[in-house]
Structure 1
Amino acid sequence: MHQLFLPKSFTQKFNENNPCFIYISQVNIEDRNHPRTLHAHSDIVELLLVTEGKGEIFIDEREYLVEKGDLVVYNSDVVHEEFFKNEAVSSYCIGLKGVQEKGLRPGALISDQEMPIFKTRENFNIIKNIFETCFLVLEQRQLNYATIVQQFFVTLVLLLKSNILQNKNNMKKKDNKLAIVQDIKLYMDENFTQEFKVKNLESNPRWNINSFYFAHKFKELYGYSPIEYLQRRRIGEAQTQLITTKSSVTEIAHKVGFNSSAYFSTLFKKIVSLSPREYRDRYVK
């Protein structure tokens, strides 16, 4: 993954119609062995365009199959993960701030109840060209590049709102009756840096659920055991901090919930196939 940011010195007046471009990343086929694990952004909406191949992604409560031409919308605060390890997939991803759509919560480009996968169909080449142009202009950093990127981005948002996000053929997410399991997952997402023990659920008056049943249903719903989910959630947050901060590996390990930086580094390499330092060196330019 190659990620490029607009400079913080670049100012943009947010308004309801024109959110601000923050960064763009490019994922190539060779990046598939270094997955971007479970993570969420508190104030950023992401638009992911699949440009080649197909693979699976995890968004909030379920897995989806995506393929070339699909546009994925990650609302803010929505946990997601791309796992293209066994597939040849290329994509672009744009991060934006200042999203405020009428009738939706701040940080939501679409309803949280709506399917987040959209088919670009005949608009694919146009949309792909805009993503590619934003990436190249930001990479080359010529005169007025930040303003140029923002203008291309405004065009992209208008195109998506007019021709893609209006597609109401998308099915609504199915209601899940396992409300307790979902509530515990929400708690885990909000407190993933804290200690969590499945065996304590049975004595917790908030849930009072059999720990074996919970672990079984959790994996059935989300594809990971509760402990695996927490580990990937922490590693995903660590990836974000490695890219966006100058904190040391030890500091990041403690921030995301690991008592041992050595164990953190071992688990990080097991999941991402790079050590934390190798990951930072590879993706921070």
Structure 2
Amino acid sequence: MIQCFVKKEYEAPFGLTQPPRLFSVSRTDEKASAHPRVMHAHDDLVEIVLVRGGESRYYVGGTPYDARRGDLFIFNSRVVHDEPSGPDRPVATVSLALGGLQVPGLRENTLIPADASPVCRLSEAQTIRLERLYDVLYDELTAGNDDGAHHLLMAILTLVQQFRGALAEGSAQDANVFAQRIKDYIDRHFAEEFSLQQMADALHVSPYYLAHVCKETTGYSPLQYVLRRRIGEAQTLLITTDLPVTRIAAQVGYDNPSHFNAQFSKAVGMSPRTFRREYVYHK
């Protein structure tokens, strides 16, 4: 018999004084990633995503980051992120979402400081350790063991805290101040009807300069950015609410449900109803 002893008193990860609430766990293989989770943000949830295979490029707060096996991404609440995988760049991931998180010194539902890199690159050994825990968490949650799943969440957070020392190359890039103003404007108004000229007037610049800065920093034109924000928000509503598709279409800025269905299908690769049916796991 080999007996292992605990060497120190238990300390909650990230200095937490109360456990957070596990919201969901997701597992996506490379085939399923052909239907991407488009640009979105969560008001009251943090997402922790581990890339298990494939390659892609994620956009976090408008900044691009390469994504491949062993990359651990943390998306704080209210941070817009885009995961534009597809048939030409399949990627396999496991992820979880949690709320009720209060890390000392940070705003609610924030796991890392705003100026910290959202990604760290793990070694193969670290990746295997973390994905094993994710797999157990997923299996326990789908089996209905919600209480056990919450305890496993704390184990994952402990590893995440340890692995944050293996930060990816460089820290988060300095944000272009004007580019952030563009993104903030679109994030506030994406469900409204407005033209490029109206946005340029509101930001006191020429439409050409606005379009150039937006494309340079986010990889999308302003109108493409608006479209992806709308579709991403629609995906969130489809997953987290029982609202009818027509109501969701109107809520994200589409008066014509048929136009919404066409835009959604083009961006995601399936209709809104099919996405809702296939994405959400029902116990």
Taking structure 2 as the reference length, the TM-score comes to 0.88
| Structure 1 residue 222, shift from structure 2 partner | 0.5
| Structure 1 residue 87, shift from structure 2 partner | 2.2
User: Where does residue 152 of structure 2 map in the other structure?
Assistant: 152
Q: Structure 1: give runs of 5+ residues left out of the alignment.
A: 1-14
User: Where does residue 69 of structure 2 map in the other structure?
Assistant: 68
Distance change in 2, residues 1:151/1:227 (3 Å):
same
Q: Deviations over 1:229-269 (max 9, x none)?
A: 11110111111111111111110000111111111011001
Partner residue of 1:179 out of 135, 153, 177: 177
Distance change in 2, residues 1:148/1:190 (3 Å):
same
User: Where does residue 123 of structure 1 map in the other structure?
Assistant: 126
| Structure 1 residue 31, shift from structure 2 partner | 1.3
Greater shift, 190-199 or 239-248, is seen at 190-199
Q: Deviations over 1:68-114 (max 9, x none)?
A: 11110000000011122122321101001112112222111011111
User: Where does residue 199 of structure 1 map in the other structure?
Assistant: 197
Q: Distance in 2 between matches of 1:264 and 1:98?
A: 33
Counting matched residue pairs gives 264
Q: Distance in 2 between matches of 1:174 and 1:278?
A: 37
Question: In angstroms, what is the RMSD of aligned CA positions?
Answer: 1.6
Distance change in 2, residues 1:148/1:198 (3 Å):
same
Q: Deviations over 1:14-42 (max 9, x none)?
A: x6353221100111111122111000000
- Does residue 51 (structure 1) correspond to residue 48 (structure 2)? The answer is no
SS at match of 1:95: strand
Q: Distance in 1 between matches of 2:260 and 2:59?
A: 23
- Does residue 261 (structure 1) correspond to residue 257 (structure 2)? The answer is yes
| Structure 1 residue 274, shift from structure 2 partner | 0.5
Q: How does 1:1-285 map to 2 (within 5 A)?
A: 16=17, 18-85=19-86, 86-121=88-123, 122-141=125-144, 145-161=145-161, 163-167=162-166, 171-176=170-175, 178-204=176-202, 207-285=203-281
Q: Structure 2: give runs of 5+ residues left out of the alignment.
A: 1-15
| Structure 1 residue 175, shift from structure 2 partner | 2.1
Distance change in 2, residues 1:224/1:58 (3 Å):
same
Distance change in 2, residues 1:168/1:71 (3 Å):
closer
Kindly indicate whether the alpha-carbon contact (under 8 Å) linking 2:22 and 2:97 is maintained by their aligned counterparts in 1.
Answer: yes
Aligned AA (1:131): Y
Greater shift, 30-39 or 180-189, is seen at 180-189
Aligned AA (1:189): D
SS at match of 1:241: helix
Aligned AA (2:139): L
| Structure 1 residue 184, shift from structure 2 partner | 2.3
| Structure 1 residue 277, shift from structure 2 partner | 1.2
Q: Distance in 1 between matches of 2:69 and 2:128?
A: 11
Taking structure 1 as the reference length, the TM-score comes to 0.88
SS at match of 1:49: strand
Aligned AA (2:228): R
Kindly indicate whether the alpha-carbon contact (under 8 Å) linking 1:114 and 1:171 is maintained by their aligned counterparts in 2.
Answer: no
Q: Distance in 1 between matches of 2:269 and 2:199?
A: 33
Aligned AA (1:63): P
Q: Distance in 1 between matches of 2:59 and 2:173?
A: 15
Identity over aligned residues, as a percent?
32
| Structure 1 residue 170, shift from structure 2 partner | 5.1
Kindly indicate whether the alpha-carbon contact (under 8 Å) linking 1:201 and 1:210 is maintained by their aligned counterparts in 2.
Answer: no
User: Where does residue 11 of structure 1 map in the other structure?
Assistant: none
